[in-house]
Amino acid sequence: MTAPALQPRRGRPPKLDRDNRETREALLHAGMRLLTEQGFLSTGIDTVLREVGVPKGSFYHYFASKEAFGLAVLERYAGYFATKLERWLGDASRPPLARLEAFVADARAGMARHGFRRGCLVGNLGQEVTQLPAGFREQLEAVLCDWQARLAACLRAAQQDGSLAPTVDCDELAAFFWIGWEGAVLRARLVQSDAPLATFIRGFLALLPR
């Protein structure tokens, strides 16, 4: 069941110590943390407001609804994760497959650092998608397609250096990776250990045609 839409309060936003941009950034930052921990449906606007320390009227100055807020958080997360993928998968100082291993190592360290409370925001929302407003489905798929394209480029680089067979369909293999990766992240949160991530990347690399 979709969370009921919250009605914005009319009138001018309250006067705040921080400027408008800073307040919006703080709301998005809190949203990223909360939604990676507990998803969209379980995260109430009041929880976000307490995290940031702003009144509800101020929230509606920046976001027309909880749905608009969730989509903005997803967009911000997509940008954050794209930067992370570019840093690891685009690192020309490493062999292509080593770049993928470095990405996984960073993810393992990140999950452990946060006590396995935080997962993947895209994965969390994907599990809720049948109960989310329609706009989420298209944006989630677009984010996953972007991730797949970035990994496919890295895999094509592996073909060029001879570490991956030239007959491999890199787009298909990249799609396979992200399908499996989201399951590994879910299992890591379940068992409170990075072992599922390690198991997944070992299996993925071992099965690559060379």
Mean pLDDT of 165-178: 98
Q: Which carries the bigger pLDDT value, residue 58 or residue 43?
A: 43
pLDDT of residue 57: 85
What residue ranges define each of the domains in the chain, with the CATH number in brackets? 67-207 (1.10.357.10)
Residue 202 reports pLDDT greater than 50? yes
pLDDT of residue 19: 62
Residue 181 reports pLDDT greater than 50? yes
Mean pLDDT of 44-65: 92
pTM of the model: 0.87
93-115: per-residue pLDDT in tens? 999 999 999 999 999 999 999 99
- Return mean pLDDT, the chain: 91
| 76-81 contact pairs (CB < 8 A, 24+) | 76/28, 76/31, 76/32, 77/32, 77/35, 77/36, 77/121, 77/122, 78/122, 78/139, 78/143, 78/146, 80/32, 81/122, 81/143, 81/147
